[in-house]
């Protein structure tokens, strides 16, 4: 985004923040400053009192190493509502942190939060309430795929159709948009996490090796792929042998990891096909020209673009810096609030949260 001195000056005296409350990573985009926070969406809590002990990067460090009375968890992993109080604490922490970073004392911030497109009215209300009670003066909600498309630079306000596929940790979101509205959308709970689980399962059933989620994620990132690679790779995967009970390292190839995650990749692919099936023919013809844009950390899976192109016969490309698209899109709304606020989603009156 180009430097705008007026925005910068405005930023000194007010605080407008866009938040990508991801299932895996939370990014905070402060108007006039850019993305100032990028931390894992982890919270470590006291098992007994459920009080948060650490949030963000600090909490993730504790994963798998916590003493018996502490659990580290990702409050958004299973949707917004399941860990409402903890989600709220996390939002409070990130909003507070953005607040602390401002040079002069500023009033309570205007906050825009990205939410998955499939969420219910009750979940929307939960995020809204959480941001309000975390100290916001005004809260706007935007569907993540719309924010991601904006951030990726797609012409979402154009009459021509455009398509985004945002593959995160817990959810994949597919949306076809035109004239600032969503024409077709799909949200599914198969994304990066599911692939990590696939790898854990695969190692257990093929090698009797019990591995941790972080090891699985590392294997996915280093040698995982969705299509054959020009040069297949191998990697040592460490875990505990379930029969001997002893630590063991197994050399695994990219072909095996591809096989392990194949059904998750296929599910995502089928969902994209489904969305395309439902799009009006005019929009399909626009998409054939413009291609499908991918965002989110999962879009970095090796050769995923090739695989999709092969099967969909439409050009597929990965957005620049795909993991920050939602946060950048939310920031664009703050910068052009009067024009873009119509992209925000409304809350139905009287909707309440149920615990
Ligand atoms: P969310 O929006 O749900 O917080 P992100 O967009 O931050 O998710 O993406 C996180 C997911 O992306 C994780 O599952 C992570 O393992 C995966 N990921 C990150 N980098 C890569 C990579 N290079 N290859 C494959 N997956 C990746
Ligand atoms: Mg996301």
Rounded to 5 degrees, what are φ and ψ at 122?
Answer: -65, -40
State both tokens at 217: 């994620």
Predicted confidence at residue 81, as pLDDT, reads 67
Q: What's the rounded mean pLDDT across residues 117-127? A: 86
The response to whether residue 75 sits with its C-beta less than 6 Å from ligand 1 reads no
CA 231 to chain centre: 29
Q: Which atom, in ligand 1's list, is nearest to the CA of 192?
A: 14
Predicted confidence at residue 141, as pLDDT, reads 95
% residues pLDDT > 70 (the chain): 92
**Continuous segment of H or E residues that includes residue 262:** helix 254-278
Predicted confidence at residue 179, as pLDDT, reads 93
Whether pLDDT at 355 is above 50: no
Q: Which of 44-53, 58-67, 88-97 is predicted with the least confidence, judged by mean pLDDT?
A: 58-67
Whether pLDDT at 351 is above 60: no
Whether pLDDT at 14 is above 90: no
134/190: higher pLDDT: 190
Q: What's the rounded mean pLDDT across residues 151-174? A: 95
Predicted confidence at residue 171, as pLDDT, reads 92
User: In sequence order, what are the beta bridge partners of 238?
Assistant: 249
State both tokens at 262: 């194949």
Nearest in space to 258 (alpha carbons), one of 235, 282, 281, 279 = 235
349: Cβ–Cβ under 8 A, 6 or more apart, which residues? none
The response to whether residue 31 sits with its C-beta less than 6 Å from ligand 1 reads no
Predicted confidence at residue 10, as pLDDT, reads 65
Q: What's the rounded mean pLDDT across residues 13-19? A: 86
Angle, nearest 10°, between helix axes 254-278 and 304-312? 40
Predicted confidence at residue 76, as pLDDT, reads 87
Query: Which ligand has the minimum distance to the alpha carbon of residue 326?
Result: 2
From 25, 43, 167, 192, the mutation candidate for ligand 1 (largest count of ligand atoms within 8 A of CB) is: 192
Q: Give tens-digit pLDDT for 266-310.
A: 999 999 999 999 999 999 999 999 999 999 999 999 999 999 999
- Cα maximum dimension of the chain: 66
CA-only gyration radius of the chain, Å: 21
140/117: higher pLDDT: 140
Give yes or no for a contact between 145 and 1, defined as CB atoms under 8 angstroms apart: no
User: In sequence order, what are the beta bridge partners of 209?
Assistant: 241
268: Cβ–Cβ under 8 A, 6 or more apart, which residues? 165, 167, 172, 188, 190, 191, 298
Predicted confidence at residue 62, as pLDDT, reads 85
Whether pLDDT at 143 is above 50: yes
Q: Give tens-digit pLDDT for 222-255.
A: 999 999 999 999 999 999 999 999 999 999 999 9
| Rounded distance between C-alpha atoms, residue 149 and residue 257, angstroms | 30
| HSE toward the beta carbon, residue 1, CA cutoff 13 A | 27
Whether pLDDT at 108 is above 90: no
Three-state SS string over 57-106 comes to: HHHHHCCCCCCCCEEEECCCCCCCCCCHHHHHHHHHHHHHHHHHCCCCCC
Query: Which ligand has the minimum distance to the alpha carbon of residue 114?
Result: 2
**Residue whose CA is at the smallest distance from ligand 1 atom 20:** 297
Question: Average per-residue pLDDT in the chain?
Answer: 91
Q: What's the rounded mean pLDDT across residues 154-158? A: 94
pLDDT tier, 353 (very low <50, low <70, confident <90, very high otherwise): very low
| Rounded distance between C-alpha atoms, residue 90 and residue 131, angstroms | 10
Predicted confidence at residue 354, as pLDDT, reads 43
| Rounded distance between C-alpha atoms, residue 24 and residue 238, angstroms | 23
Query: In this structure, how many other beta carbons lie within 10 angstroms of the beta carbon of residue 262?
Result: 13
Q: What's the rounded mean pLDDT across residues 74-90? A: 82
Predicted confidence at residue 80, as pLDDT, reads 63
The response to whether residue 79 sits with its C-beta less than 6 Å from ligand 1 reads no
Cα(192) to centroid of ligand 1, in Å?
6
DSSP code, position 308? H
Q: Which atom, in ligand 1's list, is nearest to the CA of 217?
A: 16
Q: Which atom, in ligand 1's list, is nearest to the CA of 168?
A: 8
The response to whether residue 300 sits with its C-beta less than 6 Å from ligand 1 reads yes
Nearest in space to 56 (alpha carbons), one of 15, 84, 17, 97 = 97
Cα(322) to centroid of ligand 2, in Å?
9
Give yes or no for a contact between 291 and 305, defined as CB atoms under 8 angstroms apart: no
Three-state secondary structure call for residue 162: strand
Predicted confidence at residue 286, as pLDDT, reads 96
């Amino acid at each position: 985004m180009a430097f705008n001195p007026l925005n910068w000056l405005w930023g000194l005296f007010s605080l407008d923040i866009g938040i990508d409350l991801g299932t895996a990573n939370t990014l905070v985009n402060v108007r006039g400053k850019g993305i100032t926070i990028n931390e894992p969406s982890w919270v470590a809590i006291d098992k007994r009192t459920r009080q948060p002990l650490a949030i963000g990067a600090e909490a993730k460090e504790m994963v798998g190493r916590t003493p018996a009375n502490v659990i580290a968890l990702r409050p958004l992993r299973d949707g917004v509502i399941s860990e409402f109080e903890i989600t709220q604490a996390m939002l409070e922490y990130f909003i507070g942190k953005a607040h602390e970073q401002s040079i002069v004392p500023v009033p309570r911030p205007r906050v825009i939060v990205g939410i998955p497109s499939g969420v219910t009215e009750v979940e929307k209300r939960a995020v809204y309430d959480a941001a309000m009670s975390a100290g916001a003066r005004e809260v706007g909600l935007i569907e993540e795929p719309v924010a991601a498309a904006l951030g990726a630079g797609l012409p979402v306000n154009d009459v021509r159709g455009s398509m985004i596929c945002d593959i995160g940790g817990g959810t994949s979101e597919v949306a076809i948009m035109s004239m600032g509205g969503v024409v077709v959308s799909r949200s599914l709970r198969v994304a990066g996490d599911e692939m990590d689980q696939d790898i854990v399962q695969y190692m257990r059933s093929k090698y009797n090796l019990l591995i941790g989620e972080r090891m699985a994620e590392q294997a996915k990132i280093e040698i995982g792929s969705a299509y054959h690679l020009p040069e297949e790779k191998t990697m040592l995967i460490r875990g505990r042998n379930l029969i001997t009970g002893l630590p063991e390292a197994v050399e695994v190839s990219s072909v095996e990891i591809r096989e392990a995650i194949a059904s998750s990749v296929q599910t995502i692919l089928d969902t994209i096909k489904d969305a395309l099936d439902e799009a009006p023919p005019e929009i399909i013809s626009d998409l054939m020209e413009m291609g499908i844009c991918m965002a989110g950390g999962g879009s970095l899976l090796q050769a995923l673009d090739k695989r999709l192109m092969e099967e969909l016969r439409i050009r597929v490309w990965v957005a620049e810096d795909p993991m920050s698209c939602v946060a950048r899109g939310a920031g664009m709304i703050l910068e052009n609030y009067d024009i873009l606020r119509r992209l925000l989603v409304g809350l139905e009156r009287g909707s309440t949260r149920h615990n």
